[in-house]
Structure 1
Amino acid sequence: MLKPNYLMKNTELQAIQSLRLLLEQVPVIKLLDIEHEGSEPDHGADIMAHIEVFGQRRVMVCEVKSTGQPRHVRTAILQLRNYIVHYAQEAIPVFIAPYLSPEAQTLCREQNVCFLDFEGNARLVFDSIFIERQVASKPAADRRELRSLFKPKSAQVLRVMLRDPRRAWRVTDLAQAAAVSLGHVSNIRVGLLDREWAQVSEEGLFLSQPDTLLDAWRDAYEPPIGERLAYYTTLHGGAFEDAARRVLRTGGEANLAAFASFSAAHWLAPYGRTGTQYFYADEAGLERLKSTLKLSSISKGENVVVTVLQDSGLLQDTEEPAPGAICTSSVQTYLDLANAGERGREAADHLRQERLTWLK
């Protein structure tokens, strides 16, 4: 029997309601009873649903987690397998969480574990029953959590790790290299491990799925916050490039400006020229660009665009493919291009093939 509601967690209550609703929608399944076993965490199965299918009684053993991140899914699957082996070998294993990403759903399929979440995704496969439902919605909390991984300070950590995904980092070393706090690195570490984009070795944390991470970052990407300023210059071709390289190399240890977007791609992985030059800069870098490149403000017909960054952290993660050609890193350039329309996506794909392939 179910234990009293006041002893049950909200997640477990919602899991029971979602399971009941799903089973009641299948005419050939008769729900006999739902039990909630054990008042202590991880003591036996969370939920046991007794059902009847075509006159035959079956039991569904359910593990409920408050998060459906892949690492937690693997833990739940092991718990289900262990419970079934020791207590109910003929039971049907089911995993339930508030939301299951496509990656988490794949893990369940690979292990022949049924699943459902509160968004409406579900898969029940046993005997002659086959039910699979997928929805496009994603909870706001999950979207916020994912976006938080790519905020400016977090992005500094990810850019450092993506320089060499196989390098293992101690938290203190990574915090120093990314110029962020230890607490910030610890939060990023948890997020990466939960999604199984990273692993921990004896030497430290390293990226095990850099491509998957980059794909997720691209899909959730928000351009750096800053003021976009449009200018016109009479300099063209080699004269412009020479002047730009002179001003970019004068920043000393701290970069004040860098080629960005299509302009950075021209140096990193040439794909096609554009009539507009793009830069990221801080306030000091803007003044140098305006002076050296003879920039004049213009409302339309610009051929130079400078974004003055609110947070100049990404200017410290640059590449210099030719003397003075200070460019945003390959990762940052890829993200900008991938969100710059069809032509940008083509240039982004070319850049990724040329500079962002990692050994498996």
Structure 2
Amino acid sequence: MKSLETSSKEALQDLLSKVPIIEIKSFKATPPTKTWAPDFIVEIDASGKSYSLACEIKASGQPRFVTAAILQLRDYVREWDIEATPIVIAPYLSLAARQACREKGVGYLDLEGNAWLSFDGVFIDHQVAEKPPSEHRGLKSLFKPKSAQILRTMLRDPDHAWRVVELSEAANVSLGQVSNVRTALLDREWGRATRDGFFLSDPQSLLDAWVQVYETPSGERKKFYTTLRGSALENAARSLMGEQGNGRTVFSSFSAAQWLAPYARASTNYFYADSEGLEKLISALHLVPVTKGENVVITLPKDEGLLLDIVEAAPDAICTNPVQTYLDLAIAGERAKEAAEYLRQEKLTWAR
């Protein structure tokens, strides 16, 4: 297997060779120094002029590591007072990492084919739409049920600085799970660590990434018909939710949004419930199982966190929290997407 440095040099050579006015003169290691230095320097000619490219390779292209590389490269060029164009190279650079490079005038290249380089009349810009499978897996892992409990807890108050133990208890997950999520948030620069704890520094980008990979929660989905309509159905459901005892039932999707940020009433009512809550709903709402023509849909989610991380939008109107409601609506069709965006504007707007 090729080393990352070898692959990086080959990728850069392939990129530069496609520009007719560029001639590669040499790849050379940086001289030994007591301070930081880039991994290698590329000497090139472009239209008869000589240029140097100072290249730093990062095994991870997450924003935290790329930001560090940008600062190191810029300091190196400034400290040694050399004419060199800084370039960051990684296996894959996220969109946020690429944007950070552009904003600082630092070139970039990843092994997936994304590249941007600009100096003295030379301009290269190539973007690849697809994320590599490893990036999809990493994001999906961050949003799995236990991790999602942590994120929903943090999104309730993004500015709150959490200690690991405190967040573990609040989200009802293990210390190890919190530590893993903390690392992932810091790497992507969606979180920031301080002496008081860590908090969400970019909740909007976090939510943007979450909705891109979100899938319907696994669990049994049951369809019913009831003769109850409008406030009669809602009041019957709220009366059930207000009772003390076993069985959990919450409004979800359109039905939750109707309480949190009313946009458009749907003809179908949606609930999450456990098995006991299901039986109580069947009785309270006079539900009849159907295969089509349903006006009540009840999901029994495998992730019990969806039944615990709730809000009381009105007396006894127990709903999935705004984040979960937004995610469910966002993948439920075009009309639901409009309701999702309205909910986000009303309940999920945080300053960056």
TM range (shorter): over 0.9
TM-score, scaled to structure 1? 0.93
Q: Which residue of 1 aligns with 2:278?
A: 286
Match of 2:143 among 147, 150, 155: 150
Secondary structure class of the residue paired with 1:280: strand
For 1:230-245, what aligned pairs fall within 5 Å after superposition?
A: 230-245=223-238
Conservation of the 8 A alpha-carbon contact between 1:255 and 1:315: no
Whichever residue aligns with residue 121 of structure 2, its letter is S
Note the C-alpha offset of 1:251. 5.1
Conservation of the 8 A alpha-carbon contact between 2:38 and 2:73: yes
Are the structure 2 counterparts of residues 188 and 38 from structure 1 closer, same or farther at C-alpha, using a change threshold of 3 Å? Answer: farther
Q: Which residue of 1 aligns with 2:321?
A: 329
Q: Deviation per CA, 1:239-281, whole angstroms, max 9, x where unpaired? A: 21121112222355x8711000000011111111111100011
Are the structure 2 counterparts of residues 251 and 196 from structure 1 closer, same or farther at C-alpha, using a change threshold of 3 Å? Answer: farther
Comparing 85-94 with 257-266, greater Cα deviation is found at 85-94
Indicate whether 1:47 and 2:40 are aligned: yes
Secondary structure class of the residue paired with 1:279: strand
Match of 2:287 among 291, 295, 299: 295
Q: Distance in 2 between matches of 1:212 and 1:78?
A: 22
TM-score, scaled to structure 2? 0.95
Q: Distance in 1 between matches of 2:217 and 2:329?
A: 13
Conservation of the 8 A alpha-carbon contact between 2:253 and 2:325: yes
Conservation of the 8 A alpha-carbon contact between 2:59 and 2:90: yes
Are the structure 2 counterparts of residues 150 and 295 from structure 1 closer, same or farther at C-alpha, using a change threshold of 3 Å? Answer: same
Q: Among the aligned pairs, what percent are the same residue? A: 54
Q: Distance in 1 between matches of 2:81 and 2:54?
A: 8
Are the structure 2 counterparts of residues 255 and 315 from structure 1 closer, same or farther at C-alpha, using a change threshold of 3 Å? Answer: farther
Q: Which residue of 2 aligns with 1:217?
A: 210
Q: Which residue of 2 aligns with 1:3?
A: none
Note the C-alpha offset of 1:150. 0.8
Note the C-alpha offset of 1:236. 1.8
Match of 2:82 among 86, 89, 93: 89
Note the C-alpha offset of 1:115. 0.8
Q: Which residue of 1 aligns with 2:5?
A: 12
For 1:201-212, what aligned pairs fall within 5 Å after superposition?
A: 201-212=194-205
Secondary structure class of the residue paired with 1:320: strand
Q: Which residue of 2 aligns with 1:347?
A: 339
Whichever residue aligns with residue 148 of structure 1, its letter is S
Q: Which residue of 1 aligns with 2:262?
A: 270
Q: Which residue of 1 aligns with 2:308?
A: 316
Secondary structure class of the residue paired with 1:168: coil
For 1:125-164, what aligned pairs fall within 5 Å after superposition?
A: 125-164=118-157
Unaligned stretches of 5+ in structure 1?
1-5
Whichever residue aligns with residue 197 of structure 2, its letter is G
Are the structure 2 counterparts of residues 255 and 348 from structure 1 closer, same or farther at C-alpha, using a change threshold of 3 Å? Answer: farther
Whichever residue aligns with residue 74 of structure 2, its letter is R
Q: CA RMSD in A?
A: 2.0
4+ residue stretches of structure 1 with deviation over 6 A? none
Whichever residue aligns with residue 294 of structure 2, its letter is E
Match of 1:67 among 60, 69, 76: 60
Note the C-alpha offset of 1:98. 1.0
Secondary structure class of the residue paired with 1:27: coil
